[in-house]
Each structure stands twice: as structure tokens, then as C-alpha cells.
Chains A and B, each alone.
Chain A
Amino acid sequence: EAGVVQSPRYKIIEKKQPVAFWCNPISGHNTLYWYLQNLGQGPELLIRYENEEAVDDSQLPKDRFSAERLKGVDSTLKIQPAELGDSAVYLCASSPGTDTDTQYFGPGTRLTVL
């Protein structure tokens, strides 16, 4: 069974540019999470989806960050415009919904903002 797929794996952009990250969760997983992981720290939840619905986006900086999961499968996280402080690893995770404690993580996208 394929795991959580994320792309791109690495992205380097200039500040003030837009950037988007894509996530394809494990097939059949209804719950999808986006996390931010700064260097030397643990992941922090940005947003959680139950199917198409964002059920917890309290940590998402909505002035520049947006996310969508239009058909309840793939998801995209966008930053516009990017700032230097956004340099981090963006992780996507999914869970089946029957055991929401067990989350399966993708390899992440490492963003560098210059």
C-alpha cells in the first residue's frame, strides 16, 4: 500500500513569492493533517480535514496561508506571499478515521525562502 505522498520534496523561492504544496493521503483515509516543522522542533498542527471539511484550522495563519481539499482526497497548502520565517518542513499526514490517534506521515516538503 502506498504511503502519504507529498510534492515537491524541496522548494526554494524568493520572499514575497507564492508557493504551493501538494499531498495525496493513503487511500481511504478520511482525515488529513498539515503540520509545520521548524528546525530542531516537533511538528505543529496547521489544519485538519475530515473529508472536505476543515474541522480545525485555528493554528493556520490565515492572512497568508490557505488550504483546500476539494474532493476529500488530495489537498493543497498555499502560502502567499512567503516570508523568510516560513522556511521549514511542511508535513502532511492522514488517518483512517476509525483510529484517529494513528497518523501516517508523508516525507514532507522542505521550503527555503530567500
Chain B
Amino acid sequence: GDSVTQMEGPVTLSEEAFLTINCTYTATGYPSLFWYVQYPGEGLQLLLKATKADDKGSNKGFEATYRKETTSFHLEKGSVQVSDSAVYFCALSTDSWGKLQFGAGTQVVVTP
């Protein structure tokens, strides 16, 4: 079945450091790929998405490129802030109704 694997956390880094969170997937067909973010005490929010190979999703300084050849969708940000501390979830959807398959989440902690 479909699945998403993302790097384990917590990832701890200093403000202004470069962030990468690895995400790989297994899916039949051609999934849409997503990154969701969950700030403390809040619901999940869509951060970015890509619907076909080589698409790049971007938002709030975060980027991820849909790599079909490596079945990956790694999340990157060039300079993190303390406010980026959150749990990040990679997800895919192969269902026209939008059924999401999530990874386990990666906690990111940014220190001043």
C-alpha cells in the first residue's frame, strides 16, 4: 500500500541555520505530495504541495520539489526562525477524493 517515510526527529538547530527534512514515498500511480505543519496547540496547516513530477511547492520560505525518480519530496528552508519550531508532516494523496496518507512527523526545534 501507499506509505510515507520521513526522517525522525527531533531536529534541533540554531536560528538562521539551513533546514532539510527528508521525505520519501511509496505509491501506486501518481500521487500529489504535501507538507503540513503543526504548531504547538494548533491544527495541521497546509504548508505547500506539488501535484506532478518536477513541480516545486513553496511557501513562507520553505520549498520542496517532487522527485519522481527518487520518490522523494524533501522540505528545505534556507534560514529558519524560532517561529518555525513545529512538527512537520509529509503526506501523499492518490485518491481523487483527497484521502491523505501521512508520515509520522518530524519535530523541529529552533533555538535563538
Contact = CB atoms under 8 A, between A and B. Distances in A.
Interface string B31-72: 010101000011111100101000000000000000000000
B103 A42 contact: yes
Contact of B43 (A56, A95, A100, A106): A106
A99 to B, nearest CB: 8
Contacts of B44: 43, 91, 93, 105
Interface residues of A, number: 25
Nearest to B103: A42
A29 B96 CA distance: 16
Given A48-B99, A95-B98, A100-B98, A41 B42 contact: no
Chain A CB within 10 Å, residue with most, of B43, B46, B96? B43
Contact of B102 (A42, A101, A104, A108): A42
A42 B32 CA distance: 17
A56 to B, nearest CB: 7
Contact of B99 (A41, A45, A107, A108): A45
B52 to A, nearest CB: 12
B46 A103 contact: yes
Interface in B62-112: 89, 91, 93, 96-100, 102-105
Nearest to B51: A101
Interface of B: 4, 32, 34, 36, 41-46, 49, 51, 89, 91, 93, 96-100, 102-105
Interface of A: 3-4, 31, 40-45, 48, 50, 55-56, 91, 93, 95, 100-108
